[in-house]
Structure formats: structure tokens, C-alpha cells
Structure 1
Amino acid sequence: MNRSRRIRNNTIKMPTVLSMPQPMCLIENDGSNLVVNKEAEKLLSEIFEPLIVVAIVGKYRTGKSFLMNRLAGCNKGFPLGSSIQSKTKGIWMWCVPHPQKPGHVLVLLDTEGLGDVEKGNSKNDTWIFSLTVLLSSALVYNSIGTIDQQAIEQLHFVTELTETIKLKSTDTREEMEEYKKILPSFTWCVRDFCLELKRDDKEISEDEYLMMSLEVKAGENFQNYNLPRECIRNFFSSHKCFVFDRPTSKKNLQRLDELRESELEEEFVGQAANFYDHMIRSSGVKMLPGGITVTGKILGNLASLYVDTIKSGSVPCMENAVLALSEIENTGALQDALSIYECEMNKNVAKFPTLSELEFVNMHKKCGRKATTVFMKRSLNDEDEKYLRELKMQIGKREKEFMKTNEDLSRAFCNNLLKNLSVTMQNGLMQGRYSRPGGHRLFLMDKQEFLQKYDRMPGKGVKSLEVLEAFIHENKNIEASILAAENRATQAEQRLAESHYRTMQAQWRRQSVEQQSRDLQQSMVRQSASQQQHINSLIEMMEQNRKRILQENNLRIAQSLQAQQSRLSSSHQRTLNEMQRNIEESQRRNNQRQSSGGGCILS
């Protein structure tokens, strides 16, 4: 399986514009010129889901539009018309969500009637038929009556496919086998069918009826007879047939789009339901050579490429169309991918500067993967990976631009941060704070605090260390100057300190002598006071002893007198009196000694 096919299996779901209340013209036809409708092309460019393209061709006024409206689930849409004039000109388109395949879009193509006598240009019919075959994945051929020789001859456009469509730029005999792989499935709808489906009196199916009608005859005389049958058999991958009764009475045919289902013939309603079920269930996704899934944008580009080729007088070639489409889609895919990368990276610029280079690389890789996914989704047949390599190169250039932005923001942030954090140190330098002894140590303390604040500050980015190293390098001479200034100041202060020390030492000696003198004087005063206090204590003690002895003597004398008085009688009174005089005399002498200041006290 080639890479393009793998890509298509991993398509990214994107919103689809399906607000088509009614069909619109895809390819306009004025009878002589084909033009792609730009509005339709723009609408298709907004559809990114795979397309299932069902197209119908046939003679005008055969009821083609009615069948397409049924596939769209509506009675109205493609104009039915009620006269012999064809209502549909060119190729009309109606995009609706596929009713049974989510994520797919059903594109219905209704073509103008073939064989319209008013056009007068049979070649115009051929190009309408060829474009329908090229653009569809399921082709419905609508006719009236039966599948007979006339009906098959009217489908002569099939025999001209090899002349109006090329699969490759170089014709080969094996090309016929390739048509079946690329061209759409083929369904023949026979309208107003009135025959019995029998062969040799045996009932046959509608499909058997078709294949029976396409049988070839042996012999050279039947070449013209066999050619359209062989083309139908060989060109298309599958063949299906539906027959329809007349839907209603002739008078109601003119207002067929207004009739309710109950007003239609029951047999016809059942046949229309079978047709609807088969086309919805069995119609496949439109594919291109190389396994390329057709989306709305690709279908619009294909239509433009084929129409431009026809207008130039050339024959549409699928190979060339795929190459041209690949160029268009790959160029667009490249631009879309680069836009996605830039858009996603611009969202991350708000997070710049990144904490580390790894964080930036992870951002870049994530955005690069999204861009590559977008490219791989849309790219077509980039077999040699030319555009993928170009994408990687362009993303590499843009990565360097975003990296520079990231680094510039980191430098700006860090420089501004260093400027703010270094204000204290700058002020210290200006004020001479570091020019005195101990200034270098103070400078180192401030520097350490400065570095710690810088390290703790978030959001510095990938150039944090580089900017810091440059800042330190620019200011390396400041620290040396501070250290030299401190050394000079220290030497001068040391000399001053030595002089001051000698002065203070002399002062300390003088103060010491004075202090010793004062201490000696105070010691002598304290010693004299202590001696006087001792003398006073001795005198006080002596006085207390004297008073105590005197009291004791007086007490003994008094006691003795009292005792003698009690023993003496009156006859001894004289002796007593004498003794009393002696005693008084003794007392007198004692008092004299006391008043003279000393002496021993006699007991």
C-alpha cells in the first residue's frame, strides 16, 4: 500500500459545510462553453470528508431529476420541468450528509439531458457525459422504454470514452483493463418499462435482463453491434439494472414533484425504494489512481482541471490530472502545514522564554507533528517526499526564527533582572561602602545575596547562565578594585591604629599610676578609720567593765550592810556607825580615782 493511501486512512475530521437547502450549478454550459461555478467550487473546498458521488445521465425529459431528488430524500430540489424543454443545463450538484455512512458526504450530480435538439452540438453532449464519468463514483444511466438496440446506440458516448478520456499520457493496449478499476459503477434505470422480465418463458432478474441485453454476437459483421456492449462491460467495474413502471397518470406527470407518495403508483414506489436502498448502500467512495480518496476540495479542483483541459482542445487525462492535482494539493498542503506550525508556535510565544532548551524543543516537536499531520492528510502522491522534505526544511527555518525569539526574550528578561537586582551593589559602589576596610567582605556578602535572588527568580529562560556569566565578566574588575582599595585603606588604618595604640598605652599607664595612688590613699584612710574604731571599741569595752564592777561592788556592800544590820544590836550601833563612815570614805576615794581617769579599782 503506498503512502498516499495510508494517509487517507488517517484523515482528520474537520467541519463540513452541508447547508445546501437546494442544488447549485457546478459546471455551467451555454452550449459552446463549459465554466466551473466558483461559488460551488468554494463550497466544495470546505468539505474534507470522503465523497460518494452519484451522477445521472440520459436523454432529456426522462425523469433523471426525480430519481436524484429521491436519493436526496426530497421531492423537490433538482428541477423536474413540465415541458419538452430541458430544465437542467450543465452539471448541477447537491451535497448532503450520507444517510448511512457517518463521516461521508453524498454528492448528487444531475446532468443536462443528452440529445437536446436545441443545443445543436453533439460534441457538447460528449463532454458532459465524459465529465460526469470522470467526476462520479456511481453512474446512473436513465432511459425510457426498453434496453434495445436503439437505446444502446443512444449510449454511443461510451464508445467514445477512449477518445475523450485518457488514463495515462501514453496510450497502451492494457489501458482498457485499467478503466474498470477507475471508472464508476454503472446502473441502468429503464423508465416506463412495460414488458415482462422473461427469457425463454422463464422469469429473469433485472440484472440478468441487462447482461442479456449486453451480450455480444460472434462474427466480424457485428463489430458495430458489439462495440457499445463491450465498452459498457469493460469500462465499468459493476453493472446493475432497475426497471420502473410509470409513476402516475400522464396528467399528473407534469406536477410529479408536487405529488404525495400515496398519489404515486404502488409498484413504482416499491421500485424507487429498491433503487434508493441499492444506491445508498452500494455506491462507493470516489477514488483516483494511487488510492487517493476524493474530498470536496479535490473534486472541485478536478472539475476545474478537466474543464480547462477540454477548453484547451485537449483530452482529459487522469494521470495528468492526478499530477496537476498533486501539485495543487501538495502546495496547498505545504502552506496549510506551515500555517498550522506558525499558528501553534505563536500560541506558545506567550510562554517564552522557555525554562530550558528541552522545553522549547518539545514545543517545536508537538507543533511540528500537528503540521505534519495536516500535510499528510491533504498531500497527494508525494511519492519521492519532495514536498515533505520541503516542509521539514521550512519548519526548520521557522524553528530557528522562533528559537531566536525565545533566546532574545530570555536575554532581555535576564538583563533587566540583573539591572534591577544590582541596584543595591551599584549604590554601595557610588557611596563608597566597599572602599573601606571590610568592604570586600561586605561586597562578597551582597554579591552572594544577589546571586541567590537571581537564581531563585523564575522565567529567566534558556540564556540565564550565559547572561549571568557575561554580567560577571563585565564587572570582574570591580571586585579587584574593591579588594585593592580595601588593602590600601587597611594599611593606612593599621598605621593609624598603631599610633593610636601607643597613645592609648601611655594614657593607660598614667591612669594606672593615678589609680594606684588613689587606691593607696583610700587604703590608708580605711586603715586609720579601722584603728580609731578599734580604740573606740576598747574604751567602750573598758567603760562597760568599770560600770559592771562598780555595780557588783555596790551590790555586795549593800548586801553586807543589810546582813550586818540584821545581826547587830543596838549595843553595837557605834561600831556600825564607824563602819558606815569607813564605807563612805572608801566610796569617796573610789570616786576620786574614777574622776582622775584610771587606776585600778579595788574590791
Structure 2
Amino acid sequence: MTMSMPEPVCLIENVDGNTLVVNKEAEKILLEISQPVVVIAVVGKYRTGKSYLMNKLAGRRSGFALGSSIQSKTKGIWMWCVPHPKNPEQTLILLDTEGLGDVEKGDCKNDAWIFSLAVLLSSAFVFNSLGTIDQQSMEQLHYVSELTKLIKLKSSSEQKDEAAEYKRIFPSFTWCVRDFCLILEKDGKPITEDEYLMSSLELKKGTGKKTQDYNLPRECILHYFHSHKCFVFDRPASKKNLQILEKLEESELEEEFVEQVAKFYRYMIRKSPVKTLDGGIEVTGRMLAVLTTSYVQAIQSGSVPCMENAVLAMAEIENTGALQDALTKYRCEMDKHVVKFPTETQQEFLTVHQDCEKDAIQVFMGRSLNDKDQKYQKKLKELLDNTMNEYSTKNEMASRDFCRKLLRELSATMESNILEGKYSVPGGHKLYLMEKLNVMEGYNRRPGKGIKALEVMQQYVCEKKDIEAAIIQADETLTERERQLAEERAQVENAEREKKIMEENNKNLQQRMEDQERSFEQHKQMLMEKMEQERKMMIEQNELVIARKLKEQETMMNAGYKDKVDALQQQINSLRQENSQPSGGCIIL
């Protein structure tokens, strides 16, 4: 489902500047969002107008608090979930972070965690600063050079060059420069905002410490984030009016500022991607809630948030939920057919089961992820088989109940005659056989008896066996030979019914075995389709990463860093090799 919140709520509370806690109300909101989410997070020094931009993205004039004093208004990370204005099948989640460098906090580690959480949770990362992109503003971004210390991708310490994979998973990067007063030109020629950013990110040649310190944040921005965009904004209004910015009409703001805000809005709404994980897995609000809790718990425990561990924890929750959703779907669909029980044949029941099972597997496949060794899918098959047996038992009981009731109705006159002794007279057996034949013919003609019709009839005849024997003995018109023939005829009829019951049971057993084979093939086929889909997503993601690394390689080449060019080439070759390999998925259901 989508979510439209009237106002933001705090997602991660910052208690006393040193303790981060996930807000339960916000977590509950996220858990109710089953749509993929586009997550835009804004980070920057406090009092730089971050909240104003986020309110604009929400389509509102106010919402996130705008500070008009030297104090930071936003503490922790605040969240606003709104319907995506362009994609109704997605939810837009806006994250406004507390201002970096707030002197009241006195703990730079807190800023580092806020920065890293914004990177971890977002699909589009916005850095907001004042003035120009210069060394001072780069120093405000020094947290980016610490990301490998603040975030782990893999839990194993044996992983090679983990940093090479950040570009695959990290968000896009947009730099918003506020109160920009320079002319956009370089070497006397006009340049675009993006060219201004990339020019500011150019690396200096050299190996000295001063050069390395200059290059480090720039290199990290190029290396970690997969795309780079820039917007420069004029001052929106006079200093006096800045204090009431959210109350001003657009006509009261500077025209150039209004135009840039509109341009920023269009770009962020159209270009910000859905939050994805390694392998192209789209993150829903429900999944984002689990990731948020995992990351915050890791930070509060004193360890470094690990994306792999968080994804594993999320996968377990999602796969457990997928099992429950699939089973609920199966029961819901089967319950629609219970009113039609009993089915006339076993095959008719199995056909209903097959359709419902297919729907259930589709539900499971739609939600499950990272199901290593098909652990959860095997559990699903077991649960579906057990549940199918429950409905099979209901179908059989419905058949028995219908047939017994039918026999009571058809044999009411015969039962009354037995109690009154009307068959215990000369010629009584002939009368009994005629009435018994009428009951059986009426029973056989009646449709809708279900798969236990023969079995119930056989039980009924067996129950009347001693009564018929007594009637035969009491009939004085019968000779001893006739009595013997009557008893033999009853035994033959009984044997014939037993044979038919056995044949029907064997046929039903064979159909159940064939259904198990069909079920296995259906699980296998749908799993293979999902694995192929995931492989295509992986290849698409790899191709994007290759394109991004080629651009980064060009930057490194221009800066004269041959070793880094070679390292990037190895990563590119590895990705291309991965794409060229045939699907290695193993079906072990």
C-alpha cells in the first residue's frame, strides 16, 4: 500500500546527541508500505536551507522545520512519506537530517553516523551547502572519506577491495549550492552547473600529503556515488524575509531562485531511482524499516553497520512473511471452492488445488528474496502439501456426509419396514431385494456424491449384511439352495464393490503422485523464471556500474593515477566476466 502522511515524523531520534533510537511510530508507518520506495535524503551544515528544499519535494510549503535562528531545528533524521507524484506504484520518502557541525552537540562522531545513515537509507543523496564549491565546503564533506570506516558491505574480513562495490549500492549524489553569487564560467567560457561540479571534483596530480588530502574527498565522491548532479541557487529573499521563508508566496521570492527550485524538483522527482540492494532488489517501505533498525542497532552496539548482515536479517523477515502471504493466498483461494465440495472426482479437486497453488507460489516469488538453497521455498511446498491434505480431508468428509444423508433419505421406507418386520414373512426377501435395489438405483442416479460414494455405499451394505441374512433365514418360501445362492450373490456383489473401491483408490493414489511431480515441476519452473529475472537485473546493474567505472577511470587517467586506472580496469573486467557467465543457479528443491 502507499502512504500519505500529513506531516513528517522523526524516524531516528537523537537522544542527548549521542544515542540514536528508531522511532516506533515511524517504524510502524514504514512497515505498512508494501510499495517500492524512492528515498531522498538531504545532508548539510545546519542553517543552510535543507528543510525548505525537502518541503518543496513533498509538494508542501511547510512540514519539515525551518530554522530561523542560529540553532539547529532538526534533530536526528525526520521522515515524510508521500505518494510519488509521477509513479503511483511507488512511495516517495523524504529524509531531513539534523545539521552537521552544530556546536551544541560537541560530538563529531554523531555527525558521522547521521551522514552514514543518510547514505545507507537513501537512493538519492543531496548535499546542501552555502556559497561555492571550494576547499572549505569540501572539508564539510570530510565524512565521505570515512565511509569505508563507517559502513561495511560484507561481514567477512576476507573480502577483497570492498570499496569497489560501493558504486553498485550507494545512492546518486546531488550537490545543492545555496546563495551562489558567482558567474558560471571557466577559462572565460560559460559552463553548466554539472560542469562546475565536475570541474570542482577534478583531482590534482602528485603524491604529496597536501595533494592527497585535497584529492581524498573528491575521489570518494567520484568513487562511491554512481551519478553526480549540481544545482546552484541564488539567495531566495532578503535577510529579513529569510526568517519567514515558508510563509512567503512565490511572487515574493527572487525569480531566479523560484526557477531553480522548480528545476531541482523536476529533476529529483523524475531521476531519483527506487532504493535497491545488491542484485537489483527493490526496497519496499517494509524492508526499509528493517534495514533502518538493523543499522541503528549496529551503531548503538558499537559496531559498524554491515549491509550484508542487514540484508540477511531483512531477507529472513521478508521470506517468513512471503511464506505467510503465500499460505494465506492458498487458503483464501481454496476457501472459495469449499462451498462446492464435494468434488465429483479426485482430479477435479486436484485441478482446483493446482490453480490455487500456482497463485500461492506467485505470491511467494513476488516477496521472497535471497532464499539461499531454496530453504523457504521447500518450506512453502511442505506447508502447501499439508494444507492441501487438510482440504482433501474436508472434501472427503463433505462426500461422506452427503452420501450418508442421501442413503438415510432413500432408505427411510426400507428402514421402517425392517423395524415393523414386514420382510420377516414368506416372500419377504424378494420384497427386501426390490426395495434395496430401488435404494441403490436412486443412490447411483444422484449426482454430486463425491469421491467417497462407493466407500459409503459399501459401508451401508455391510451394515445391512446381518439383517439381510436374517431375512433370508426367515423366508420360508426359499429352499436351502435358494438361500445359499442368495448369500453367494450378496458376497459376489460385495467383492465387486470392494474391487471397484480398490481400483478407485489406486487411481486416486496415482493421480496424487502425478500431482506431486507436477507440483515439483511448477515450483522448479517458477523458481527458474525468478532466477533468470534476477540474473537479468544483476546484468543490468553490472552494466550500469561498468559505465560509471569507465567514467571514473577517465577521471583517474586525466589525473595521472595509473595504479587506480588499472585497479578500475580489473573491476570492470571482473564485472564483464560475471555478465558473460551462464546462469549458475542450482535447483535443489
TM-score range, shorter chain: 0.7 to 0.9
1:361 and 2:350 aligned: yes
Distance, in Å, in 2 between the alignment partners of 1:139 and 1:160 is 16
Tell me the CA shift for residue 491 of structure 1.
Answer: 6.8
**Counterpart for residue 417 of structure 1:** 406
The correspondence for 1:193, drawn from 180, 194, 199, is 180
Write the distance in 2 (CA, Å) between the matches of 1:184 and 1:192: 25
Instruction: Give the one of 104, 109, 118 matched to 2:104.
Output: 118
Match of 1:29 among 14, 18, 35: 14
Structure 1 counterpart of 2:29: 43
Q: Distance in 2 between matches of 1:173 and 1:386?
A: 28
CA displacement at 1:442 relative to structure 2:
2.1
- The whole-number CA distance in structure 2 between the counterparts of 1:459 and 1:120 is 80
In 2, the alpha carbon distance for the partners of 1:387 and 1:420 equals 49
Q: Using the TM superposition, give the Cα deviation of residue 459 of structure 1 relative to its aligned residue in structure 2, in angstroms.
A: 4.1
Aligned equivalent of 2:456, options 461, 467, 491: 467
Amino acid at match of 1:489: T
Mapping 1:521-536, distance limit 5 Å: none
Partner residue in 1 for 2:40: 54
Q: Which 5+ residue runs of structure 1 have no aligned equivalent? A: 1-14, 493-603
- Whichever residue aligns with residue 19 of structure 1, its letter is S
User: Counterparts of 1:368 and 1:303 in 2: how far apart (Å)?
Assistant: 34
Contact 2:119 2:170 (C-alpha < 8 Å) held by counterparts: yes
SS for the counterpart of 1:384 is helix
Tell me, what secondary structure is at the counterpart of 1:85?
coil
> 1:16-165, aligned counterparts within 5 Å?
16=2, 18-30=3-15, 31-165=17-151
In structure 2, the residue matched to 1:235 is 224
User: What displacement does 1:62 show?
Assistant: 0.3
**Matched AA of 2:456:** V
* Whole-angstrom distance in 1 between the partners of 2:479 and 2:122: 101
How many residue pairs get aligned? The number is 476
Distance 2:50 2:454 in 1: 76
Code of the aligned partner of 2:201 = L
SS of corresponding position for 1:433: coil
Q: Corresponding residue for 1:9?
A: none
* Alignment partners' CA distance in 2, 1:258 and 1:491: 113
Whole-Å separation in 2 of the counterparts to 1:87 and 1:137: 24
CA contact (8 A) 2:294 2:310 kept: yes
Is contact 2:36-2:90 (8 Å) kept? yes
- Residue 341 (structure 1) aligned with residue 330 (structure 2): yes
Residue pair 2:8, 2:79 contacting (<8 A) in 1 also? yes
Q: How does 1:162-177 map to 2 (within 5 A)?
A: 162-171=148-157, 172-177=159-164
| Partners of 1:166 and 1:316 within 8 A in 2 | yes
Deviation at 1:347, TM superposition (A): 4.2
Contact 1:353/1:462 (<8 A) preserved:
yes
Q: Give the aligned partner of residue 206 of structure 2.
A: 219
Q: Partner of 2:477 in structure 1?
A: 489
Given candidates 388, 391, 401, the residue that maps to 2:380 is 391
Q: Deviations over 1:36-59 (max 9, x none)?
A: 111111111121111111110000
Q: Are the equivalent residues in 2 in contact too, given 1:130–1:161 (CA < 8 A)?
A: yes
- In structure 2, the CA distance between the partners of 1:458 and 1:145, relative to structure 1 (3 Å rule), is same
- Amino acid across the alignment from 1:74: R
Deviation for aligned residue 1:209: 0.8
1:157 deviation in Å? 0.7
Alignment partner of 1:442 is 2:431: yes
| Amino acid paired to 2:292 | A
Kept after mapping to 2: 8 A contact 1:436/1:490:
no
> Can you list the C-alpha shifts for 1:319-375, whole angstroms capped at 9, x where unaligned?
111111111111121122223323433444333333322232233223322322222
Q: Provide the residue aligned with 1:325 in structure 2.
A: 314
Q: List runs of 5+ in structure 2 lacking aligned partners.
A: 481-589
Calculate the TM-score normalised by the size of structure 2: 0.78
Q: Is this contact kept in 1: 2:427–2:477, CA < 8 A? A: no
User: Is the 1:129–1:157 Cα contact (8 Å) retained in structure 2?
Assistant: yes
Distance in 2 between residues matched to 1:200 and 1:110, nearest whole Å? 37
The CA RMSD measured in Å over matched residues stands at 1.8
1:496-515 aligned at under 5 Å gives the runs none
- Tell me by how many angstroms 1:122 deviates: 0.7
Instruction: Give, in whole Å, the separation in 2 of the partners of 1:490 and 1:304.
Output: 88
Cα deviation, 1:238-295, whole Å, max 9, x if unaligned, reads 0011100000111000000000010110011111111111111111111001221001
What's the CA shift for 1:28?
A: 1.0
Identity %: 63
Aligned-partner Cα distance in 2 for 1:228–1:48: 36
Q: Please list, as runs of the form range in 1=range in 2, the aligned pairs for 1:531-570 lying within 5 A after superposition.
A: none
Deviations 1:75-102 (A, max 9, x none): 1111112111111111111111111223
- Paired letter, 1:208: E
Q: Which segment drifts farther, 410-419 or 258-267? A: 410-419
Per-residue deviation, 1:418: 2.0
SS at match of 1:194: coil
Asked if the contact 2:128–2:178 (Cα under 8 Å) also holds between the matched residues in 1, the reply is yes
| Contact residue 166 and residue 318 of structure 1 kept, 8 A | yes
The residue aligned with 1:294 is 283
Tell which structure's C-alpha radius of gyration is larger: 1
Aligned to 1:183: 170
2-structure distance, mates of 1:70, 1:363? 52
User: What TM-score, normalized to structure 1?
Assistant: 0.76
Separation (CA, whole Å) in 1 of partners of 2:103 and 2:336: 61
Residue identity opposite 1:194 in structure 2: C
